[in-house]
Amino acid sequence: MPSSDMHNYDRDELFIDGQWVRPASTAAIEVIDPATEHVIGRVPAGSVEDVDAAVAAARRAFDPLIGIGERYERLTRVIEAMEKRLPAIAETITREMGAPIRIAQSVQTQVPLAVARGFAEALRTFEFEERIGNSMVLREPYGVVGAITPWNYPLYQVVAKVLPAIAAGCTVVLKPSNEAPLSVFEFVEALQAAELPPGVVNLVSGPGRVIGERLSEHPDVDFVSFTGSTGVGSRVGELAGKTIKKVALELGGKSANVILDGADLATAVKVGVGSAFLNGGQTCMAWTRMLVPQAHYGEALDLVEAAVSKYPVGDPWDPSTRIGPSASQSQYESVVGFIERARRDGSRLLLGGPEKIRDIGYYVAPTVFADVDPESELGQEEVFGPVLAVIPFTDTEDALRIANGTPYGLSGAVWAADDAAAIAFARAVQTGQLDINGGKYNPAAPFGGYKKSGIGRELGRIGFEEYLQVKSLQLPA
């Protein structure tokens, strides 16, 4: 385990108007290592006054006529500065939210780098003007952005909001999660090293009910981008609606891994278990429902058991660990509650369970339930932990009914005998993104949800466009 002396985990300043400043209050939020249950650092518990100062700085820094060349230079400097700090940021992510170091050094940091480069390419190739008949259609920066990010992928979620905002010419006030804010402070230090003009990006940590609510309702914030729970997202939308500002919401999911007759069952199960348990199941796009043909159900359960045996739980600093602790005590308690209720509701516990598996740390055993009623809580609601529900179906129509039978529609997968059959099924699935027969992740593809999984899209050119607004100039003949 690296020494904490290499990092500054006792933060007592916010980043506003290009400099680190003392907040209005001395109140602080403790950051707890979920593997040891020890306090490892603190960040300021900001106030409404801090948000107002940060928004004022962002408003002063916003130039609606900023050139594309200047945006591109800012973006490339940020990417270069961030890349230099990724090894240190990976260590901080492991320490603050328990991601195994192998995940922190790959998915948690290298995916954000790929996403950042995708935004640079989107900016480089984007057409900001087009002619439609006698009109010139312009795409201009949206303005001041309030970015509210969660704890499960702290760097990725920040990059997915701050980088397209910079590329679009917007300015940002960023609110990180309370559970995993330290890596975000290190990211902002990279922005400082990139020498962005004062006020382009500002950082205010603190309670969601204070910082998040003020950003959502602030009359000088033009656009709020939020990632988190559906309940909080609804509140963000409610507050933002009072000032008629744009909102993008990336919310919960209960994604289905649909394995149709004729598919490569062994591969589909193996990949599906990996998706369900990635990052300890703390992934909004995790395939947490595995739908299997009734005729192959027993074989699928055997394959699930074999796959889960290769996911050891343990010390996140051990390179062999694939599942670390839940990110916080409250998250651990929530996951255990889901497991206990699922067992009472009649689902058959195949592996794992709610029992404590280590004396210290918020560890949950990888848990699999069979014979899950699609209408039960486990079949409907996001657990956000290492819990997989395996559900049999009778035919393709039944599989589609189950896949579409939740309030969510964020992600998922379809496996079939050939791509054409999988794509035909996928067209009827009400979700924002689907992997077809193991298609690989594409950081340039738009990501977002149907139904209660959200509004708007992130990543790539389409995610970049969220930060632009459209103006039409009707020209004389």
Together in a domain, 356 and 376: yes
φ, ψ of residue 205 to 5 degrees: the values are -90, 160
Together in a domain, 277 and 241: no
- Does residue 441 belong to any structural domain of this protein? no
Q: Which tens digit of pLDDT belongs to each residue from 98-149?
A: 999 999 999 999 999 999 999 999 999 999 999 999 999 999 999 999 999 9
- Does residue 443 belong to any structural domain of this protein? no
Distance of CA 353 to the CA centre of its chain: 26
Together in a domain, 63 and 203: yes
Together in a domain, 210 and 125: yes
The pLDDT, as a whole number, for residue 1 is: 66
Q: Which tens digit of pLDDT belongs to each residue from 284-334?
A: 999 999 999 999 999 999 999 999 999 999 999 999 999 999 999 999 999
Together in a domain, 182 and 113: yes
13 in active site: no
Per cent of the chain over pLDDT 90 is: 98
Together in a domain, 243 and 266: no
Q: 328 with 179: CB under 8 angstroms?
A: yes
Determine whether 137 is exposed, middle or buried from the number of CB atoms within 10 Å of its CB (0-12, 13-18, 19+): middle
Q: Name the strand (E) or helix (H) holding 414.
A: strand 412-415
- Does residue 32 belong to any structural domain of this protein? yes
List the structure tokens of 339.
Answer: 């497991």
Q: Which tens digit of pLDDT belongs to each residue from 422-473?
A: 999 999 999 999 999 999 999 999 999 999 999 999 999 999 999 999 999 9
Q: How far apart are CA 258 and CA 289, in angstroms?
A: 8
Together in a domain, 192 and 70: yes
The pLDDT, as a whole number, for residue 164 is: 98
- In which domain, by residue range, is 432 found? 256-436
- Does residue 459 belong to any structural domain of this protein? yes
Together in a domain, 205 and 231: yes
Q: 326 with 366: CB under 8 angstroms?
A: no
Q: How far apart are CA 176 and CA 131, in angstroms?
A: 40
Instruction: Provide the CATH number for the domain around residue 174.
Output: 3.40.605.10
The pLDDT, as a whole number, for residue 458 is: 97
CA atoms within 13 A on the CB side of 467: 31
pLDDT higher than threshold 90 for residue 2: no
Q: How far apart are CA 325 and CA 365, in angstroms?
A: 9
Q: Which tens digit of pLDDT belongs to each residue from 173-219?
A: 999 999 999 999 999 999 999 999 999 999 999 999 999 999 999 99
Mean pLDDT of 249-275: 98
List the structure tokens of 367.
Answer: 């848990």
Instruction: Provide the CATH number for the domain around residue 353.
Output: 3.40.309.10
Under 8 Å CB-to-CB from 11, ≥6 apart: which residues? 41, 42, 43, 44, 181, 182, 185, 205
Distance of CA 327 to the CA centre of its chain: 14
Active-site choice (96, 186, 250, 465): 250
Together in a domain, 191 and 261: no
Q: In total, how many domains does the chain have?
A: 2
Together in a domain, 310 and 245: no
| Low-confidence winner among 1-5, 155-159, 401-405 (lowest mean pLDDT) | 1-5
φ, ψ of residue 134 to 5 degrees: the values are -95, 15
The pLDDT, as a whole number, for residue 3 is: 53
Together in a domain, 231 and 278: no
For residue 129, what are the β-bridge partners? 138
Buried b / exposed e along 7-30 (16+ C-beta atoms within 10 A): bebebeebbbbbeebebbeeebbe
Residue whose pair of structure tokens reads 């656009």 in the numeric block: 223
Q: How far apart are CA 98 and CA 152, in angstroms?
A: 10
Q: If we measure between CA atoms, which residue out of 361, 436, 429 comes closest to residue 400?
A: 429
- pLDDT, averaged across the chain: 97
- Does residue 293 belong to any structural domain of this protein? yes
- Does residue 193 belong to any structural domain of this protein? yes
CB atoms within 10 A of CB 381: 17
- Does residue 421 belong to any structural domain of this protein? yes
Q: How far apart are CA 43 and CA 41, in angstroms?
A: 7
Together in a domain, 168 and 205: yes
Q: 24 with 49: CB under 8 angstroms?
A: yes
Q: Which tens digit of pLDDT belongs to each residue from 3-47?
A: 556 899 999 999 999 999 999 999 999 999 999 999 999 999 999
- Does residue 8 belong to any structural domain of this protein? no
Mean pLDDT of 368-386: 98
The pLDDT, as a whole number, for residue 316 is: 98
- The DSSP letter of residue 393 is E
Under 8 Å CB-to-CB from 86, ≥6 apart: which residues? 109, 110, 113
The pLDDT, as a whole number, for residue 6 is: 81
